[in-house]
Amino acid sequence: MTTLGLSDLQFALAVIGLLILIAVAILNVKYARALRKARAEAEDYLAERVAREPTFGSGFADPITGEQLEPTFKEVSLPVKADSASFSIDPRIDCVITLRFSQPITGSEILKEMISWDDLSTPSSARWMCEGLNVDLNSSEGWGLLESDSSYSELQLAIQLASRRGPIGVLELSDFCSRAQALALTLGAQIDMPSVSTMLEKAKDLDAMAAESDIQLSINVLFDEACAWTKLDSLMNQRGFILSRSGRTYDYFSNRAPIFSSTDLNPGQPVQQLTLLLELPLISFDEKPFERMLSEGLEIAQVAHGRLVDDNGINLSDISIQSIRQHLDGLYENLERSGVPAGSSAASRLFS
């Protein structure tokens, strides 16, 4: 039996230690590459969404876009065509912090102290807003965006608690609250701020509700024979659809706002199947979006010699359609009970 002397043992341990260090270094390099790749993909995706939706990022943290029902509820993202100027602070989905001044303060003074807040406005960060109570206007009209030459008696700072990226994180919320406290101290204002823990719980509840209600419904029109693009384009125009700028999708509008769209199509090829998509939370119940999408699908199928099918190519039955109606009624009721009715500005922000 051979025994190792002290020097041999030390040498063996040194070799083992070196091998471990090399292995750890290799793993770190692989992890760093994977992390950079994931971040790059996320930033590219967010940049694409922001380019199409100037006010928002994308995706719940764990996107569950609905149950599989006929025709189908599926994970598809449609552009959110919303005007950011129409949005305002909403306690239903925002953490709202109020600053009250003993004497009115000008907007320029406030804005000067908030220059450093610009780093919060990134595609990957939660949406935040600032509104002031203008002393020159009555209380019902006085809240609005800050203007340099106006004076304000109160200030509201708000950050959105959840979106399709998921609930706001503790670090991001804590940072926002710390900035608000520092601003209040600088401006000599009294601050009214909810606890971080309470807001984090509210964010989780909002995210859970949103995950249950984030339904994207599709209806498929399967043509008996592939439909020529020129014929389909003419038919879609006759039905009131508008071709998007990309030239690959169609939007159906009501009251100057899109209520459902088609999936991507290739203008250079005949179309075998047309799929219409509806994002349920973004369209008001009063618009009857499912009924209108179903009606358009039936009309297109009749004119272009096709039929409505589910994702398995099975004809859509009346029983299936009735089941969908009942399911959608429940989803609309859930959104209403949660204080975020479908089609509201709060829903447009939450489901974005």
Using a pLDDT cut of 90, give the percent of the chain over it. Answer: 68
What kind and span of H or E run contains 51?
A: helix 6-52
User: Residue 142 has what pLDDT?
Assistant: 80
pLDDT for the residue numbered 41: 41
User: Distance between alpha carbon 118 and the CA centroid of its chain, in Å?
Assistant: 21
DSSP string over 274-322: EEEEEEGGGS-GGG-HHHHHHHHHHHHHHHTTEEEE-TTSPBPPHHHHH
Chain segment 192-206, per-residue pLDDT in tens: 999 999 999 999 999
pLDDT at 239: 96
DSSP secondary structure string for all residues of 170-212: HHHHHHHHHHHHHHHHHHT-EEE---HHHHHHHHHHHHHHHHH
| pLDDT at residue 261 in the model | 97
CB 101 within 8 A of CB 187: yes
Q: What pLDDT sits at residue 53?
A: 36
Q: Which residues of the chain have pLDDT under 50?
A: 1-4, 6, 27, 30-32, 34-61, 63-71, 73-85
User: Tokens in use for 34?
Assistant: 């994977």
Q: What is the DSSP string of 31-48?
A: HHHHHHHHHHHHHHHHHH
- What does DSSP say about strands 306-309 and 271-279: parallel, antiparallel, or unpaired? unpaired
Q: How far is CA 254 from CA 38, 79, 243, 259, in A?
A: 38, 16, 15, 7
pLDDT at 137: 78
> Whole-model pTM?
0.71
